[in-house]
Amino acid sequence: MSTNKHHRAINHDRQRSRYIPSCYRYRSSTSSSNTTKSTNTSTASTASSSLAEDTTVVLSPTARQLTMHALKSAIPMIGFGFMDNTIMIHAGHYVDCTLGVTFGLSTLAAAGIGQIFSGIGGVIFGDGLDALFHKISGGTNMTRGQRAMRKSRIVGLTGGVIGVTIGCALGLVNLLFVDETKASLLKLQALEDGQEFEFEVEVDNEIRPGYTTVRVRGPDVDGVLASITASIASIGCSVVELHAENRAQKNQENGESILEKISQSQSLQRNTLEDVFIIRDRSTQLAIDDEDLDELARTVLAAARDPLNSNSLKGIVEELQVENDALVDRISVLEGMLEDRQIKVVKTTEKQDAS
C-alpha cells in the first residue's frame, strides 16, 4: 500500500517536472517569436522609411509660399539699398568736405570712401530687417527641397533685385538734404598758407584807349579765373577779351628751364599765372572811370583771394537776374491789361449794327 503511494508520488513529480519545463519552453518560444517579429517589423519599417525618403516627390510650392519667399527676399534688400545710399551720400559728402579739401581728393574718391561705410551699414541693417521680418511672418514654410527648386530661386532673386532697386531709389531722397556745391566751393577756397598774399592786381586805362586793362598775377589755384570773371560781372562790367598765360611755361618757351626759374626765387614758383582782362562799363560801353579804378582793383583782389565768396556772389547775381526777368515779364503783362482798359474803340460796322 505504501509502495503504491510512493510510486504515485514519483509519477506525479515526474509529470510536474515535465509540465514546468514545457511551460517555460512555451513561454520562451512565444517571447522569442514576439522578439523576432518586432525585430523584423522594425527592420521592415526602417527599410520602408528609407525607401520612402528615396522615392519622396517634392511638391511644387504654392503661390502663397512663393509670394512670402519673394517678400522675404525683397524686404531685407530694401533696407540694404536704403541704408547703403543714405550712408554713402552723407559719408561721402563729409569726406569730400574734409579730407577732400585737405588732400585734394576728387568727388569720386570721396564717394568710394563713403561706400566702405555704407556697405558695412547696409549689411548690418539688412540682416536686422531679415531677422525681424522672419520673426513677424514666421517664415515661408517651404522645405529645403522646395527652396532648391529653380522656380523658387528665380522668385527669390527677382524679389531681391526689386527690393534693392526700391531701397536705392528711396535713399536718393537724402540728396535733398545735402549741399552739393559746398565741397567744390571749399576746395576753391582752400589756398595754401600765404598764397592769398601773393596775388598782384594792376588796373590801367592807358594801355588800350576806350577799355580798362586788368592784369592779375598769382598762384595757380583752381577757380580763381572764374571767380574774378564773376566779380567783374557783378559790378556792372563786361569782359571783352581775356588772356591767360602760364608764366613758367612762357619762360620755358623762351629758353629758360623751369628748374632754373624755381631756383632763382621761390615766389616765382607759385606766381605762375598771369591773367589779363580787357573790360568796359556795361552801361556806357566805355572804360571805367578813373575814380572807380581803385574799387575795381580791390574787388578783383578780393575775388582772387577768396573764390568761395566770389562764387557765392555770382550765384546771388544769377538768382536776382532770374527774379528781375520775371518781374519785367509781369510788368509787361500788367501794362498791356491796363492799356486795354483805358482804350475803347468803336468800329464803323458796329455803329451801323447799333443803328
- Residue 276 DSSP code: E
Task: Say what percent of the chain tops pLDDT 90.
Answer: 21
**Which range is most confident: 18-22, 186-190, 200-204, 268-272?**
200-204
The pLDDT tens digits for 211-226 are: 999 999 888 776 788 8
Phi, psi of 275 (to 5 degrees): -105, 135
Distance (Å, whole) CA 230 – CA 223: 11
Of 147, 303, 160, the residue nearest 230 (C-alpha): 303
By the 8 A CB rule, do 122 and 80 touch?
yes
Of 134, 129, 128, 94, nearest in space to 114 by CA: 94
Average pLDDT for the chain: 75
Q: Write out the H or E segment, with its range, that includes residue 243.
A: strand 237-246
Q: Are 222 and 106 in contact (CB under 8 A)?
A: no
pLDDT tens by residue, 118-173: 888 877 776 777 677 767 666 667 788 888 888 888 998 999 899 999 999 999 99
In angstroms, rounded to a whole number, what is the distance separating the alpha carbons of residues 345 and 107? 65
pTM > 0.85: no
Runs of H (alpha helix) within 98-223:
99-103, 107-137, 144-147, 150-171, 182-189
Binned at pLDDT 50, 70 and 90, residue 102 comes out as confident
* Least reliable range by pLDDT among 14-18, 22-26, 315-319: 22-26
Q: Which of 21-30, 36-45, 218-227, 335-344 has the lowest mean pLDDT?
A: 21-30
